Chain A
């Protein structure tokens, strides 16, 4: 099957699951105080009480709970690369319990705001952001666990 080439839309922010492990966001964990950061911190810890410059790149929790959500009814301006015709999508800010932070992401296609509620559990997947010249540029997205089967989404990786 002549699959399109899959490349991450941004380098080093997430794993794509190509190695058989489920995809995950790549953040940093401070060696000094345990503060996480996404995208990964590489210079100085964001905690003003910590002067550490040593970080471990770690996979962040693949599941979290919706902190809030919305959708994009109108096509966002460039540099967003929209499909033609434009297809609206949802976005969610998701709370990761272990890391004690909230991360934004698009929600997988086929989901509307009516399918979402604050507090719902979601799981990270990797999915196409846009396709250009036979290449699929992929990004992380959130998939509601409750709506996963209903939406019939194919999980990346």
Chain B
């Protein structure tokens, strides 16, 4: 049931900068997270042989070369860098790049960093008059914001499975409670169902308190080969490993309308059987690790909206299609339940710092698996999975074990 060392890397350190709306340069957050991760690993910056940066696209040129930006900020050591962008999945793709270097034997120790500084309000497309960019055109021709797409999925759950507005509100209530003691969370406040349902409607049926905010934040990981981890091991906390990284793209024809597209694929060609993208994301990680959803102790999923968390329950295999509401209502996914989802508080408590978020999901899993997630610890956590999806077809799922 476990992968051979050949496909496994060790997580020696995890670090984060608190999420918020500080408006300071993103490099500061990334630097703070990186230094925390190095300290957590008991390693010096000079021990790092490869830097993998997750890019931010709203902070000018330094954001597009994040790997080099963070390496320079830490002090040039000559270490090779990589900078990747994959929207919300950027962090997982950066982890994948670092893992590949380690598994190929090209380096022993790699640092992964992502950080963002975000503007207020709806995410808008990158500026300019760009009539060949679907992301620009969906705002211009349709006024379709990110919540538009989240709301389409939410409404479909109501229509197909009988989900109610109260179910969606209960997701928010659960996550707000989970994040109360998380020192890295931006929002640490309990909310009631009435408060959620009393908040302004943004994109029917989703309300303000159910839609993820945009945040500043930074997260970092120090990864190493298993050989290095054994030599370096100082005892103390249990060794956490990454057993699989999924960065899959969709399979044609994808029947679900995805941001920022105007339409789905067409399934008109003979033999074109529709395959959902979201369910394929964690499935690839399970297949790589030889682990199934029944083995999970916890999951960190991308709750861009309260309703979307319910989609993820099904998409990561916690239950069958249409059964997520029951899982929620039965308390299975709350702390104390069989498989808590978003014990960190999720995006609901963090807001989204795009290139840092998939890395932050992994940081939380690392702390949970070490048993040090104070105030939100999942008892006896042994296996954890993260899942998210970035626009333009980016899947992201990381499977961790101790």
Contacts and interface: CB of A to CB of B under 8 A. Distances in A.
Interface of A: 9-10, 30, 33-39, 46-50, 67-74, 76-82, 89, 91, 93, 98-106, 113, 117-119, 129, 139
Interface of B: 121-122, 124-125, 129, 131, 136-145, 148, 151-156, 159-160, 200-206, 252-253, 255, 257, 261-272
A118 B29 CA distance: 44
Contacts of B151: 70-71
8 contacts: A37-B266, A68-B152, A70-B154, A72-B148, A73-B200, A81-B140, A99-B268, A100-B267
Contacts of A98: 268
Contacts of B131: 10
Nearest to B131: A10
B152 A47 contact: no
B262 to A, nearest CB: 5
The 3 A-B residue pairs whose C-beta atoms are closest, nearest first, are: A70-B151, A77-B124, A36-B266
A105 B140 CA distance: 12
B268 A103 contact: no
Specify the main secondary structure of chain A where it touches its partner: loop
A99 B131 CA distance: 25
Given A30-B269, A93-B257, A77 B202 contact: no
B253 to A, nearest CB: 8
Contact of B268 (A36, A79, A113): A36
A141 to B, nearest CB: 10
A78 B266 contact: no
Contact of B155 (A70, A77, A102): A70
A39 B262 contact: yes
A101 B205 CA distance: 24
Contacts of A103: 262-263
A35 B263 contact: no
Given A47-B269, A70-B205, A73-B204, 19 more contacts: A9-B141, A10-B141, A34-B268, A35-B265, A37-B266, A38-B262, A68-B159, A70-B152, A70-B203, A72-B144, A73-B200, A73-B203, A77-B121, A98-B268, A101-B264, A104-B261, A104-B262, A106-B142, A119-B159
Residue with the highest number of chain B CB atoms closer than 10 Å, among A67, A104, A106, A113: A104
B203 A46 contact: no
A130 to B, nearest CB: 9
A101 B263 contact: yes
Contacts of B148: 70, 72, 91
B269 A104 contact: no
Contacts of A99: 266, 268
A78 B142 contact: no
A35 B266 CA distance: 6
A100 B143 CA distance: 24
Contacts of B270: 33-34
Residue with the highest number of chain A CB atoms closer than 10 Å, among B125, B155, B160, B255: B155
A152 to B, nearest CB: 22
A38 B145 CA distance: 19
Contacts of A70: 148, 151-152, 154-155, 203-206
Contacts of B121: 77
Contacts of B265: 35, 46, 101
Given A79-B139, A118-B159, A72 B145 contact: yes
B264 to A, nearest CB: 4
B263 A38 contact: yes
B142 A77 contact: no
A50 to B, nearest CB: 7
Contacts of B125: 79
A34 B267 CA distance: 9
A113 B269 contact: no
Residue with the highest number of chain B CB atoms closer than 10 Å, among A73, A91, A93: A93
A106 B143 contact: yes
Residue with the highest number of chain A CB atoms closer than 10 Å, among B136, B201, B268, B271: B268
Contacts of A129: 141
Residue with the highest number of chain B CB atoms closer than 10 Å, among A46, A73, A139: A73
Contacts of B159: 68, 117-119
Contact of A35 (B129, B143, B206, B269): B269
Contact of A46 (B201, B206, B252): B252
Residue with the highest number of chain A CB atoms closer than 10 Å, among B131, B148, B203, B266: B266
Contacts of B202: 73-74
A32 to B, nearest CB: 9
Contacts of A30: 269
B252 A80 contact: no
Contacts of A47: 252-253, 269, 272
Contacts of A113: 204
B261 to A, nearest CB: 8
Contacts of A69: 152, 155
